[in-house]
Amino acid sequence: MSSSIAPSYNHATNNSPPALQYDDNELHRYVTDDGPSHSKAPVDRGVIPPQPALIPLRKADMQPSYAQDLGSGTVTHGFYGSMMTGIGACIGAFYKSVDPGLVQVNVCSEDIRMVDVKIQLTTVPPQTVQTKDNVSVIVDSVISWHIVSPYRAAFGINNLTMALVERAQTTLRQVVGGRVLQSVISDREGLAQEVAEIIETTAEKWGVSIESILLKDINFSVELQQSLSSAATQKRIGESKVIAARAEVDAAKLMRQAADILASPAAMQIRQLEALQAMARTSGSKGTLCSDASDEDLSHRAAACGASAEAVTA
């Protein structure tokens, strides 16, 4: 095995390497923005020129930094902790719970189960439910939940997600079956709250807290949709007929009032005068007016209207 030793140079001897040569104009051109002229000045290659002072960057020209060091011992997590928890088991038996990070584990007899304690959303498959008034509806919902006891969730139940879904489906059938169709449609929030309260009691035994249950959709059969649409249409038609009948009654009342007013002698005289005025406006027309009034009264009325009329008293 051979080794090589880099030669050492002694500045006092002739073995020293030659001094570095710099071009002052070229150095000035690369450091500053204002370059030199095209003509090069003579270069003194025996002396190293002094380095120009570098201008530091302004803070406004620098990229903002988002780095921060909170310290591993000063970080306090919220209600859900570090979002992941480890369950330690020795030959299948629980013996400790660990936080995220490096954990010493005996690979021969111990294992660590990871438990997610973040909020999770689980979709409940759509199911057909019959209401109290014997109407079949299809209910689609979703559960929002999170683990509060990792030990119970890991060792207290085999399949936690499936158990929550089955429990939600059973509770939905029970709650929807106790209500009529109108209540299911109009009070979705109350129905979901009632289902969540029932599931919460059982979920606590599994180390789970139910955040909320939301009813995504409520579907009906085609026949039921047509029936509901027809009922709504007939209701609107009935309301329109009632409005029209009320308008006719009001119109009849107004006509009766008008007839009572026109039945007076003074009103009849006004109508006769209006008829005479209309006849007078028509040129070359003759009319016959039958009235119980005397000739003197008719002449006075015709003179007042400014028209000539032929009167015959029956």
Chain segment 194-215, per-residue pLDDT in tens: 999 899 888 888 888 898 898 8
Domain boundaries, the chain: 120-220, 227-276
pLDDT of residue 133: 83
Whether residue 267 has pLDDT greater than 60: yes
Residue range 120-220, CATH number: 3.30.479.30
Q: Which amino acid is at 93?
A: A
User: Which range is least confidently modeled, 56-60, 151-155, 169-173, 250-254?
Assistant: 56-60
pLDDT of residue 162: 92
pLDDT of residue 165: 92
Q: What proportion of the chain, given as a percentage, has pLDDT over 90?
A: 4
Confidence at 251, pLDDT banded by 50, 70, 90: confident
Residues 141 and 216 sit within 8 Å (Cβ to Cβ): yes
CA distance 106 to 90: 9
As a whole number, mean pLDDT of residues 155-166 equals 87
The 8 Å CB, 24+ separation contacts for 129-135 are 129/172, 129/173, 129/176, 129/177, 130/176, 130/177, 131/176, 131/177, 131/179, 131/180, 131/181, 131/184, 132/177, 132/178, 132/179, 132/180, 133/180, 133/181, 135/181, 135/220, 135/224
What are 2-23's pLDDT values in tens digits? Answer: 444 444 444 444 454 554 454 5
pLDDT of residue 269: 75
Nearest to 310 by CA among 279, 271, 268: 279
Q: What backbone phi and psi angles, to 5 degrees, belong to 138?
A: -110, 120
Which one has a higher pLDDT value, 101 or 166? 166
Q: Which amino acid is at 175?
A: V
Q: What proportion of the chain, given as a percentage, has pLDDT over 70?
A: 58
Confidence at 63, pLDDT banded by 50, 70, 90: low
Residues 132 and 186 sit within 8 Å (Cβ to Cβ): no
Map tokens 């329109």 to a residue. Answer: 240
Question: What are the Cα distances from residue 269, in Å, to 196, 240, 255, 275, 280?
Answer: 82, 42, 20, 10, 16
CA distance 271 to 265: 10
User: Which range is least confidently modeled, 95-99, 252-256, 260-264?
Assistant: 95-99
Q: What is the mean pLDDT of the chain?
A: 71
As a whole number, mean pLDDT of residues 233-240 equals 81
In sequence order, which residues have a C-beta less than 8 Å from that of residue 131 and are 6 or more positions away? Answer: 137, 176, 177, 179, 180, 181, 184
What are 95-118's pLDDT values in tens digits? Answer: 666 666 666 776 777 677 777 778
Residues 72 and 100 sit within 8 Å (Cβ to Cβ): no
